[in-house]
Structure 1
Amino acid sequence: MKRILLIGNNDGGLYLFRIELIEELISLGYEVHFTVPYGEKVPLLIDCGAIYHQIDMNRRGMNIKEDFILMCNYRKLFKMVKPQVILTYTIKPNIYAGLVAKVLRIPCIATITGLGTSMQGQGKKTNFIKILYKYGLKGASYIFFQNEENKNFFINNKLIEAGKALRVNGSGVNTEKFRPKRCKHDGINILYISRIMKDKGIREYLEAARVLKPTYNFVNFQILGFYDEEILKNQINDLVSEGSVSYLGVSLDTRIEMEEADCIVLPSYHEGMSNVLLEGAAFGLPLITSNIHGCKEAVDEGVTGFLCEPRDAQSLIESIKSFLLLAPESRKKMGDAGREKMIKEFDRKLVVTSYINVIQNMLSQQGK
């Protein structure tokens, strides 16, 4: 039986965005193994028939000793499982598992889900990560990217060979799981869903709420997500106290909050491909997001939502105003068009098929 090994840095991402791929591989007769630090989603992945191997890691920062131990653990795992193909996701698995796979000559498919903050600068840390990526991805048979800009960045910086680069429409969205459902509510609910951090555009969103709320008092500016940057907590608490925004906390299932939403807002600075936007559009909600790769692909301007300039609160304000000026039937039409776009272009079945085709091609080449 052919063995496939998936490697990520957290159980939630693997379960939420790769579960359909795992299920399809198992249904095709593959023995599927996976390794992530243990979390609450691991039993759900095991229930699907996948075989779990626990390897812990520090997702953030670089520590030479910790990262060397991580590579040693990957080596032990690879030699034990003997996978025919390895799939890696997120920075450390892409780099360190990629390095080990190259040494052991195991075919590997890496997925770049976004550049991340660490790749946006010009300093020594950014240059060091580029070097790690260059060597970590050297042995990869293919590298999947979730938007064209990220793909071109890696090619133009000579981090990968252009012939190995493939693009898919993000992680895709399960359009059966995320489908329109509405609860009646007062006013208009504009919902920001993301980790609460500067690079996700939270400051611009807070400024937009502060400016617009006095005039549009029927609008509820909501925030859903955990604090990635604690420094923002006081600013949000102040705006909650004065009634400009509502903080909804953290959700185990964002569909619950989407049921009462009228629009999804994400004024992010950089994305691979925003899952929040794909899920919101599949749910039949208009989108307001940044005019950047990783966000703008999910929106047809003026048809399924509105685009604003990143790092520009005034541009975001104007986009929200454009949405608020729409009649209720126009907002519904916009949401319906967004869902149709997700079904045609971003359904997760399309993404899964892309991976399956590449895996099967690689395995057929091994048999020759």
Structure 2
Amino acid sequence: MGGHPRLQRRSGGHRDGSAAGVDFAALSMRREPSPVSDLRSLAGAVKLLWRLRPDVLVYATPKASLLGSIAGRIARVPRVVYELWGLRLETAQGVARRVFAALESTTSRLSTLVIANSVSLADRARSLGVTGGRRVIVLGAGSSHGVDSEFFAPGVEAAALTPETARRLAESDRLTVGFIGRIHPDKGIDTLIDALRILSGRGRKVQLLLVGGEDGAVLDDELGQLRDVVPVHIEGFADDVRGALSAMDLLVLPSRREGFPNVVLEAAAMEIPAVVSDATGCRDSVVHGVTGRIARTGDATSLANEIDVLLEDDELRTKTGRAARENAVRHFSQRDIWALHSRAWRGDIDAVGPTD
């Protein structure tokens, strides 16, 4: 339950896993809370698990994990593993925050193992007291599935940007700052917009390439104001982000919370350095001053300063991009990460990374 969307995109349309020789059974589930629909999904999950009788059940993302952990216990699956990819409660307030905390604790408590995909995320879950008394481990250097450094590689042929965006970028002599991800308030797009305004005020010639589907953030006014000083190119959702990454001089991810941002690894594998926030999860994806830069979360001036360091020095930006790829290949090989997770799912925990 829960998925690796970028792996699914790579499969050439075989979202059912058949291309990899994996059996597949669909389970309908809504993203947002819906009591009636959620009960149906839970009943369907229990029925499916009784039929399959798996040795291990693995789940990720908040809704799938909560329902999966309950269903796994009801169906008496021997090992139920929670892949913790982020804490939604970090950006929630009031009652919503308490509800998310309770649900997070419940999911962890019902799981036999909790695997956080970054060290800072594991630490944050412990400090917030939402581990349900379970041991939380991190595998290797973190991430949910690593990066395929052959698929994501410098100069690789990939689906191009839309002709209009490609033409406008090619005609411009400005450096391209890029963002890839859900257009959601938690992603810190407002901070990025303010940072680009600051850079424009300093005389820095930049343009913004924004790639992603809208998900709870309406930024028409802010982007309209930014366009007065910085060209903005919006691509929307992309199945294959390599074309967009190839067009960028720098990736920026100013999130307020993450688990471990895979897009930073994908950019790194293509020798595109990143500037990220110091939020949970984000700060694990970059070695500050080596593979990219880290700015203070929600601080537009800090973000502008860190972006500027890489934009003003072409040689440093190139050196940083190469170091980013070297780090991605060495520490985040997809096959190595998969092997670690496989060993953890089997119960071979002692040999797989730091624990409490």
Deviation of the 1:11 alpha carbon? 7.1
- Aligned pair count? 331
Counterparts in 2 of 1:343 and 1:13: CA distance versus 1, 3 Å: closer
Q: 2: CA distance between counterparts of 1:257 and 1:352?
A: 26
Opposite residue 42 of structure 1, the aligned amino acid is: R
Q: Deviations over 1:144-193 (max 9, x none)?
A: 10122322333344433666311131121111211112899543211111
Change (3 A) 1:13 1:131: farther
Give 1:274's aligned amino acid: P
* Alpha-carbon spacing, 1:360–1:340, altered in 2? closer, same or farther (3 Å): same
After superposition, the C-alpha distances for 1:281-320 in whole angstroms (9 at most, x for unaligned) are 1110111111233112222222221111111111111112
What's the TM-score once normalised by structure 2's chain length?
Answer: 0.84
- Check the 8 A contact 1:210/1:244 in 2, yes or no: no
CA distance, structure 1, for counterparts of residue 113 and residue 220 of structure 2: 41
How far 1:51 sits from its partner (Å)? 1.7
Q: Which residue of 2 aligns with 1:55?
A: 27
- Counterpart selection for 2:15 from 42, 55, 63: 42
1:156/1:238 CA distance change after superposition, 3 Å:
closer
Following superposition, the deviation at residue 203 of structure 1 comes to: 0.7
- Give 1:16 deviation, angstroms: 5.4
Q: Of 323, 337, 353, which aligns to 1:337?
A: 323
Instruction: Provide the residue aligned with 2:245 in structure 1.
Output: 258
Which residue of structure 1 lines up, in the alignment, with residue 85 of structure 2?
113
Task: Pick closer, same or farther for the CA change 1:134–1:238 going to 2, 3 Å.
Answer: same
Identity of aligned residues (%): 24
Is 1:69 aligned to residue 40 of structure 2?
A: yes
Partner residue, 1:352:
338
Secondary structure of the corresponding residue to residue 231 of structure 1: coil
Tell me the residue number matched to 2:165.
Answer: none
SS of aligned partner of 2:247? coil
Matched AA of 2:85: T
Selected match of 2:98 from 116, 119, 127? 127
In the alignment, does 2:294 pair up with 1:294?
Answer: no
Matches of 2:55 and 2:103, distance apart in 1: 24
Taking a change above 3 Å as real, the CA distance of residues 155 and 236 of structure 1, as seen in their structure-2 partners, is same
The AA in structure 2 aligned to 1:67 is D
Query: Cα RMSD between the aligned structures?
Result: 2.6
Q: TM-score, normalised by structure 1?
A: 0.82
- Of 218, 223, 232, which residue of structure 1 is paired with 2:219? 232
**Match for residue 177 of structure 1 among 126, 151, 167:** 151
In 2, distance between residues paired with 1:159 and 1:324?
Answer: 40
Aligned-pair CA distance for 1:335 = 0.5
How far the C-alpha of 1:224 sits from its partner, in A, is: 1.3
Distance 1:281 1:127 in 2: 36
Give the 3-state SS of the residue equivalent to 2:59 in structure 1: strand
What is the aligned counterpart of 1:94 among 65, 81, 88?
65
- State the structure with bigger RCO (CA 8 A, min sep 6), 1 or 2: 2
